[in-house]
Amino acid sequence: MNKTSMSVMEMGRSLGLGKTDSYWLIHKEQFETRIVAGKMRVMVESFEKWYANQLHYMKVNGELPGAELLQRTMTIPTMANLLGISEGSAYELIHRLHFRSVKTEYSSQRLLIDKASFYEWLDNQTHYTIIEGKEDFNDRTELSEAQ
């Protein structure tokens, strides 16, 4: 039988957090909690969904965060790498063309580009193309090195 909830301390330990940081994260209301028998419980399903959509916290078991987030977004260095341009040029394109973007939370703030808006733009212009051999470039390697 799979657990549907965990204690705040279990959640904190899974992220390598102490008591204060665990409760701080709980009070950010990023995932669902319930009071059971007078104790706060973190709902595992909502915790896992939150984990898959953030990049700041990493589980102590080594499971990389952001799996869902990186399915629908890409980093600025990735975009630059795909197009064969500098990061500065990539930022200029973003600000000039208004790609849909997501800013990650916490101290590890990163600007991420919505892949759908990037590929829509790419299909509707003729100046830029993806560098041959880079079609399957993966953000995961880049983000693992940055963490």
Same domain as 141, residue 73: yes
pTM: 0.72
**Is the CB of residue 99 less than 8 Å from the CB of residue 118?**
yes
Average predicted confidence (pLDDT) for the chain: 85
Quote the number of domains for the chain: 2
Range of the domain at 128: 69-146
What is the pLDDT averaged over residues 117-123?
90
Q: Would you give the end-to-end CA distance of the chain in angstroms?
A: 34
- Amino acid identity, position 30: Q
**pLDDT reported for residue 146:** 43
**Counting beta carbons within 10 angstroms of the beta carbon of residue 128, is it exposed (0 to 12), middle (13 to 18) or buried (19 or more)?**
middle
Q: Which amino acid is at 4?
A: T
Q: Is 86 part of any domain?
A: yes
Asked whether residue 27 falls in the same domain as residue 86, the answer is no
**Cβ(48)–Cβ(54) under 8 Å?**
no
Clarify whether residues 30 and 90 are in a common domain: no
Give domain status of residue 73, yes or no: yes
The per-residue pLDDT for range 30-61, each reduced to its tens digit, is: 899 999 999 999 999 999 999 998 888 999 99
> Do 37 and 90 reside in the same domain of the chain?
no
pLDDT in tens, 77-89: 888 989 999 999 9
Are the CB atoms for 30 and 50 separated by under 8 Å?
yes
Quick check: is 115 in a domain?
yes
Cβ neighbors of 5 (< 8 A, separation 6 or more) are 34, 36, 41, 42, 43, 44
Kindly state whether residue 60 falls inside one of the protein's structural domains: no
Contact 141, 72 (CB under 8 A): no
Query: How far apart are the C-alpha atoms of 130 and 74, rounded to whole Å?
Result: 14
